């Protein structure tokens, strides 16, 4: 009969010591993982609701040097004119080289609200490109809508201080591209004017809460 080799003394306590260390480290790792998962759940869960962080004020807290917590209200960033227009409809055309002019917008607001009412808004942009180039862009772009009755692709020649107004709410209907055929959320009048100022062309977007009874295209 073979006898089991006797184990030297001291091996069992050593195993217990190693097991204790391993168990301690494993317990710490589990606690760290649970803490990380809890943090992700608190920070990342929105309850299945869509958040509009850019539209609602946020309250942020920060610790001072003395240890006190200070709360500050963070004002959301205002949308740019292009972003505001694309919220009405993502396919509203905006001329590529046009630049927003807050000074002209402020100047135009009084006259626009007197004509269309106080809820009306206006965004005034300018471009260094010639009036015929800007005209051609908008007339060509809006040609993708069956509801648009396009004028000539270029304005009449030998006429000074030419203007054109397009009712986008009426023109942007029944698109050849089905995905862009939705109507505008609000009524938008597009005005293009030849200018003698520092910019060759002035572009205005007049936004009204209700439809405005105007011809689809007005040229002067």
Element (DSSP H or E) covering residue 72: strand 69-74
- Given this model, what pLDDT does residue 31 score? 44
Residue 217 has pLDDT above 60, yes or no: yes
Token digits of residue 60? 């942020």
Tell me the pLDDT tens digit for each residue of 76-118: 677 898 999 999 999 999 999 999 999 999 999 999 999 988 8
Average pLDDT over residues 159-179: 86
Which ranges of the chain does DSSP label H, i.e. alpha helix?
11-44, 81-88, 102-116, 131-142, 168-171
Q: For residues 106 and 104, give the distance between their C-alpha atoms in angstroms, rounded to a whole number.
A: 5
Closest C-alpha among 200, 122, 119 to residue 165: 122
Q: For the chain, what's the residue count?
A: 220
Q: For residues 124 and 199, give the distance between their C-alpha atoms in angstroms, rounded to a whole number.
A: 12
Residue 35 has pLDDT above 50, yes or no: no
Q: Where are the domains of the chain?
A: 81-219
- Given this model, what pLDDT does residue 142 score? 95
Cα 100–103–106 angle (5° rounding)? 100
- Of the pLDDT bands very low, low, confident and very high (cuts 50, 70, 90), residue 14 is very low
């Amino acid at each position: 009969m073979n006898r089991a080799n006797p184990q030297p003394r001291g091996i069992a306590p050593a195993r217990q010591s190693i097991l204790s260390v391993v168990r301690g480290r494993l317990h710490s790792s589990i606690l760290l993982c649970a803490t990380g998962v809890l943090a992700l759940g608190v920070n990342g869960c929105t309850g299945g609701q869509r958040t509009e962080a850019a539209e609602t004020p946020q309250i942020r807290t920060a610790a001072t040097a003395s240890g006190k917590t200070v709360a500050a209200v963070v004002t959301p960033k205002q949308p740019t004119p292009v972003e505001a227009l694309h919220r009405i409809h993502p396919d509203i055309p905006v001329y590529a080289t046009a630049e927003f002019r807050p000074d002209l917008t402020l100047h135009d607001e009084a006259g626009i609200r007197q004509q269309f009412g106080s809820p009306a808004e206006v965004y005034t942009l300018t471009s260094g490109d010639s009036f015929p180039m800007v005209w051609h862009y908008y007339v060509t772009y809006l040609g993708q809508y069956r509801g648009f009755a396009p004028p000539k692709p270029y304005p009449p020649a030998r006429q000074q201080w030419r203007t054109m107004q397009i009712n986008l709410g009426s023109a942007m209907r029944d698109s050849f591209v089905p995905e862009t055929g939705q109507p505008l959320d609000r009524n938008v009048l597009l005005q293009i004017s030849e200018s003698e100022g520092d910019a060759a062309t002035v572009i205005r977007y007049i936004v009204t809460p209700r439809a405005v009874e105007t011809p689809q295209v007005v040229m002067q």
